[in-house]
Amino acid sequence: MGAPTKVRLLVGKVGLDGHDRGAKIIARALRDAGFEVIYTGLHQTPEMVVAAAIQEDVDGIGLSVLSGAHNTIFPKILKLLAERDGADIVVFGGGIVPDEDVPRLLQAGVKAIFTPGTSTRQVIDWVKANVVPRRR
Amino acid sequence: MKPRDGRTAAAKRGARREWEERVLRPTLARRAERLPSFTTVSNVPVDRLVTAEDLEGWDPADKLGMPGEPPFTRGIHPTMYRGRLWTMRQFAGFGTAEDTNRRFRYLLEHGQTGLSVAFDLPTLMGRDSGDPQAEGEVGREGVAIDTLADMEVLLRDIPLGRISTSMTINAPAAVLLAMYLAVAERQGVPYAELEGTVQNDILKEYIAQKEWIYPPHPSLRIITDMIAFCSAEVPKWNTISISGYHIREAGSTAVQELAFTLADGIAYVQAGLETGLDVDAFAPRLSFFFNAHNDLFEEVAKLRAARRMWAAIMRDRFHARNPRSWMLRTHVQTAGCSLTAQQPHNNVVRVTIQALAAVLGGTQSLHTNALDETLALPTEESARLALRTQQILAEESGVADTIDPLAGSYFVESLTDRTEEAAWEYIRRIDAMGGMVRAIEQGFPQREIAEASYLYQNQIDRGEKTVVGVNRYTEGEARPIAVLRIGPEVEPQQIERLRRTRSGRDAARHGRALRDLQAAARGSTNLMPPILEAVKAYASVGEICDALRAVFGVYREGTVPL
């Protein structure tokens, strides 16, 4: 192992949801904060996101979901990651997620859900504290 | 010429300078202003004081005209809201067609005067319920419509000859319009009596909302086919609602919203002309859709400038002869992106200010957002409160009782002029690129919006722009409010209904209809008649769009710059 590597992050949009304002702002803010950031673009399937995460060897995946499909998308991503030896990739997310759905997502293995009104600074600080380069 | 009060302009300027020296300077010396500089929500500098001298050379006959007359700055109707209030049109749709039909009838019973259908994401993207890509999204952001069978339920017991209906649908707009026509036929209502709107604005999808299917050129062909069909068969139908709303929601400034929307409008008119249509045959049925954000005067200025600019575009650029072609008729929706999850009741106040801006700006119809819309789709109670907000504005506040009450305000008129000039500058740049389709292909409006939205977010994060309850006046404990839940049963139910419709339909007629549609797509005949036949054969939205995907291909967004 050489010098400590930069944390690599994948910011993704899954499903038919076209609301990409938040995803792009977060991706850019994380990049400006010094992380390596890959933005998937729109209309990805969970399979595509997981394949990209494994291939790009990222340390964390941030998903933006404003379509109400969070209860479907997050568990599916976590399951696919586990199947592909990616269970240690930190999954976090944001978007329109009702408070009552948050505990269930956290229990399923999502590490944080950021709801509307979160500042980019809060997300950056959380990532700094919670996402570290994976042991490879 | 001497101003009416007998003093010359120079004397007036002198008066202002004298006031600045004698009164303002010592005041500022004692106490600085709250901020080093003031700007609108969109970062346009706001002057301390605007006076008559800022409007030197400003001619009301030229800039305003009279209500109902060009350039329509004061409104498109001679009596505006004294004659008839704006249409209160609350956007609604969730779950199955039954759920939404119930909400529609509820809203109509409570005094709503027009319908507005929200479709779910799979429908908006031309996918059926049950499509792997639609998993988890059926009925969530709007109502799930797969076939005519669903549309029949959606519009059950709603008299289509007496109500106007707006459908927020873009890439598959032709399919949903065909379904609406088929239901009207069954109700015995002639096409010529139908009133309504399909959003049908694909250009802003590439720019902002991102619900596209086909590439731009075949998309524009579908749109011009619809325009040609409707101008002959459904003359009271608004064929496009050229939308700035989503551009603003994606993070643009007010000026960008105005400029990109009008540039989209220019592209549609151009496309119509290129198919050989006469401008006055279709331009009167183009309508608009703008956002109303928090900055009251900026929003009023934007709407007033929009009307003046469109009149100039249609008259001077496209040489339309019918004054109805020059009129910018618009729907307004309050800004969803301005609402906060924190202290959600504050949203009622934001919506009230935004709705006031829409009314002072002269809108033709209005949707007021519900306080819970950053959390979920609105509950029945919050939807009713949003409607009541409009009714209070209309019937208690007095603002609807005189026409264009802000006209002549030094500040509002100068802001209107500045907004207009900044929007023209964008339009000139887009023209220089070869028009909006080329600008989109180069990612120009997308980049401009992304820059503006990133700047705005940074300003909020740094506290340079205040959002009450988010970066100021925050409260530690969130007090949750009840939100509408879409049950997990909706998706399997809808998939099952589609399965039943498929097994019950005439397979031969269905297959023939889709083949005929593809033949028309490969050729150049109007697509609306074969789409209508496919719909009547109970072909689904996904099947019809797939048939066209096979001919037209699909759009892919290029690399998105961060």
Q: What is the SS3 string spanning B494-522?
A: HHHHHHHHHHHCCHHHHHHHHHHHHHHHH
pTM: 0.94
The pair of three-digit structure tokens given for residue B513, joined into one six-digit string: 């209809």
In a domain, B467, yes or no: no
B-chain CB neighbours of A69 within 8 Å are 135-137, 140
Strand-pair category, B164-168 with B365-367: unpaired
Domain tally for chain A?
1
B-chain CB neighbours of A42 within 8 Å are 210, 557
C-alpha to C-alpha distance for B268 and A38, rounded to whole angstroms: 35
Q: Are A24 and A66 in contact (CB under 8 A)?
A: no
| Minimal-distance CA residue of chain A relative to B141 | A67
Given a cut of 80, whether residue B477 has pLDDT beyond it is no
In a domain, B503, yes or no: no
State whether A120 and B457 contact (CB < 8 Å): yes
State whether A16 and B557 contact (CB < 8 Å): no
What is chain B's length?
562
C-alpha to C-alpha distance for B127 and B187, rounded to whole angstroms: 27
Percent of chain B past pLDDT 70, that is, above it, reads 97
- The DSSP call for residue B86 is P
Domain that holds residue B115: 74-399+406-443
Report which of B473, B441, B228, B246 is spatially closest to residue B340, judged by C-alpha positions.
B473
Could you count the other beta carbons within 10 Å of the beta carbon of residue A28?
A: 22
CATH number of the CATH domain containing A38: 3.40.50.280
Output the DSSP codes for A61-82: EEEEE-SS-HHHHHHHHHHHHH
CATH number of the CATH domain containing B326: 3.20.20.240
How large is the average pLDDT for residues B505-519? 98
DSSP H helices, B188-294, are 203-204, 216-233, 245-249, 254-274, 279-282
The pair of three-digit structure tokens given for residue B47, joined into one six-digit string: 């002057």
In a domain, B1, yes or no: no
| Minimal-distance CA residue of chain B relative to A32 | B562
Given a cut of 70, whether residue A1 has pLDDT beyond it is no
Q: Are B266 and B435 in contact (CB under 8 A)?
A: yes
Q: In what order do the strands lie in the sheet with B237-238?
A: B91-92, B115-118, B164-168, B195-198, B237-238
Give the gap in angstroms from C-alpha A111 to the nearest C-alpha of chain B: 20
Domain that holds residue A62: 8-129
In a domain, B478, yes or no: no
Q: Return the bridge partners of B243, or none.
A: B289
Report which of B513, B459, B493, B406 is spatially closest to residue B75, judged by C-alpha positions.
B406
What is residue B319's three-state secondary structure?
coil
DSSP H helices, B20-119, are 25-30, 60-63, 80-83, 97-109
Give the gap in angstroms from C-alpha A1 to the nearest C-alpha of chain B: 31
Output the DSSP codes for chain A: --SPPPPEEEEE-BSS----HHHHHHHHHHHHTT-EEEE--SSB-HHHHHHHHHHTT-SEEEEEE-SS-HHHHHHHHHHHHHHTT-TTSEEEEEES--GGGHHHHHHHT--EEEPTT--HHHHHHHHHHH--PPP-
In a domain, A134, yes or no: no
Instruction: State the Rg of chain B over Cα.
Output: 25
The pair of three-digit structure tokens given for residue B485, joined into one six-digit string: 């839940």
Given a cut of 50, whether residue B3 has pLDDT beyond it is no
pLDDT of res. B8: 65
Q: Are B141 and B125 in contact (CB under 8 A)?
A: no
How large is the average pLDDT for residues B205-232? 96
C-alpha to C-alpha distance for A46 and A73, rounded to whole angstroms: 7
pLDDT of res. B428: 98
How large is the average pLDDT for residues B262-283? 97
Single-letter amino acid code for the residue at B509: R
Cα three-residue angle A122-A128-A133, rounded to 5 degrees = 150
In a domain, B82, yes or no: yes
Single-letter amino acid code for the residue at A51: A
A34 — contact with chain B (CB < 8 Å)? no
pLDDT of res. A68: 85
C-alpha to C-alpha distance for B549 and B555, rounded to whole angstroms: 10
C-alpha to C-alpha distance for B310 and B419, rounded to whole angstroms: 14
State whether A116 and B560 contact (CB < 8 Å): no
Give the gap in angstroms from C-alpha B256 to the nearest C-alpha of chain A: 15
State whether B132 and A116 contact (CB < 8 Å): no
Among B363-377, B424-438, B535-549, which stretch is predicted with the lowest mean pLDDT?
B363-377
Q: Are B361 and B303 in contact (CB under 8 A)?
A: yes
In a domain, A135, yes or no: no
Single-letter amino acid code for the residue at A133: P
Percent of chain B past pLDDT 90, that is, above it, reads 87
C-alpha to C-alpha distance for B329 and B348, rounded to whole angstroms: 26
Q: How many CA atoms lie within 13 A of A60 on its CB side?
A: 28
Single-letter amino acid code for the residue at B538: Y
Residue with tokens 């998309």: B219
In a domain, B83, yes or no: yes
ipTM score of complex: 0.90
Give the gap in angstroms from C-alpha B228 to the nearest C-alpha of chain A: 30
Of B134, B141, B341, which is closest to A117 when you measure between CB atoms? B341
A-chain CB neighbours of B340 within 8 Å are 116-117
A-chain CB neighbours of B125 within 8 Å are 16
Q: Are B204 and B243 in contact (CB under 8 A)?
A: yes
pLDDT digits (tens, 9 = 90+) for B24-63: 999 999 999 999 999 999 999 999 999 999 999 999 999 9
C-alpha to C-alpha distance for B336 and B291, rounded to whole angstroms: 9
pLDDT digits (tens, 9 = 90+) for B295-349: 999 999 999 999 999 999 999 999 999 999 999 999 999 999 999 989 999 999 9
C-alpha to C-alpha distance for B202 and B240, rounded to whole angstroms: 9
Report which of B160, B196, B214, B72 is spatially closest to residue B555, judged by C-alpha positions.
B214
Q: Are B198 and B177 in contact (CB under 8 A)?
A: yes
**Residues contacting residue B421 through CB under 8 Å, at least 6 positions apart:** none
Question: Sorting pLDDT into bands at 50, 70 and 90, what band is B1?
Answer: very low
Given a cut of 60, whether residue B429 has pLDDT beyond it is yes
Question: Sorting pLDDT into bands at 50, 70 and 90, what band is B559?
Answer: confident
Question: Sorting pLDDT into bands at 50, 70 and 90, what band is B263?
Answer: very high
In a domain, A3, yes or no: no
Domain tally for chain B?
1
Give the gap in angstroms from C-alpha B434 to the nearest C-alpha of chain A: 26
In a domain, A81, yes or no: yes
In a domain, A1, yes or no: no
Cis peptide bond upstream of B71, omega within 30: yes
Question: Sorting pLDDT into bands at 50, 70 and 90, what band is B501?
Answer: very high
Given a cut of 90, whether residue B108 has pLDDT beyond it is no
The torsion angles phi and psi of B59, rounded to 5 degrees, stand at -110, 115
Residue with tokens 């596209």: B212
Q: Return the bridge partners of B330, or none.
A: B288
